[in-house]
Amino acid sequence: MQRILIMGLPGAGKTYLAQHILENLQKEKKRVFWLNADDVRKKYNDWDFSHEGRIRQSLRMRELADSMTDCDYVICDFVAPLVEMRNNFKADWTVWVDTIDEGRYEDTNKAFVPPEVYDFRITEQYGEKWGEFIAAHIYDNRRRPVFNWQNETVQMLGRWNRGIPVTELCLNELLLRPGKWLFKLETVKVGKIVTLLQ
């Protein structure tokens, strides 16, 4: 079972997006359960939004998700404004719904720490489009590339010689690989031209 955290400020569109991710995963014949934080708080009659109350809620969401052992995925949509809450939940996939600057509750706006680690950052309220996109990536286990700034970032493939089939085949193959970037540098009479292809 994999845990999918859909987080963001109140009113950002988490619940709507969760519904569309759920529907798209179910189309792939996956068993999916959905936990909404407001429903969980209502069930436990716990409306404590203090620091301790928020931490308790994140632990509760994790426990409930872990209890769903007969599912392929458990989608949990809750604000998770604190890094500690996200760490407690230990999501396999994190979706940050970043569509608004401020939510309905001032205390939550002040407490909210934007995540540094996430799999998807959604910046428009378009649940149908992004639900399908995210579900497809989760279903295929396609994660966004993680860039390590300490690794070498340039690989010399050789000189571009227009008309040589081997060079063109290599470049065409690189262009087919998702998440890879190719810089092409040409020297011409008027100077250097750099083009970026993805």
DSSP states along 46-98 = ----SHHHHHHHHHHHHHHHHT-TT-SEEEEE----SHHHHHHHT-SEEEEE-
CATH 3.40.50.300 region(s) of the chain? 2-139
Within its chain, how far is the Cα of 169 from the centroid?
33
Q: Is the pLDDT of residue 93 over 90?
A: yes
Instruction: Tell whether pTM > 0.85.
Output: no
Q: Are 79 and 100 in contact (CB under 8 A)?
A: no
What pLDDT is recorded for position 142? 85
Antiparallel, parallel or unpaired: β 182-188 and 32-36: unpaired
Range 20-40 average pLDDT? 95
Instruction: Find, among 64, 21, 19, the residue nearest to 43 by Cα.
Output: 64
| Angle, helix 37-44 to helix 51-66, in steps of 10 degrees | 100
The 3-state DSSP class for residue 175 equals helix
Query: Structure tokens of 111?
Result: 């407490």
Ramachandran angles phi, psi of 36, nearest 5°: -100, 130
pLDDT tens profile 97-145: 999 999 999 999 999 999 999 999 999 988 899 999 999 999 998 876 6
Burial 134-161 (b: 16+ CB within 10 A, else e): bbeebeeeeeeeeeeeeeeeeeeeeeee
> Which neighbouring-strand residues pair with 122?
97
Q: Which has more confidence, 190 or 71?
A: 71
pLDDT at 191: 46
pLDDT, residue 27, reads 95
CB-based contacts of 165, cutoff 8 Å, min separation 6? none
Burial class of 95 by CB neighbour count within 10 A (0 to 12, 13 to 18, 19+): buried
* pLDDT reading at 47 higher than 60: yes
Q: Judge whether residue 165 has pLDDT over 60.
A: no
Stronger pLDDT, 13 or 172, i.e. the higher one: 13
176-186 pLDDT, tens digit each:
665 555 555 55
Residue 138: which residues within 8 A CB-CB, separation 6 or more?
2, 4, 21, 25, 73, 93
Which homologous superfamily is 2-139 in?
A: P-loop containing nucleotide triphosphate hydrolases (3.40.50.300)
Report the share of the chain in percent with pLDDT over 90: 68
Residue 19: how many CB atoms within 10 A of its CB?
17
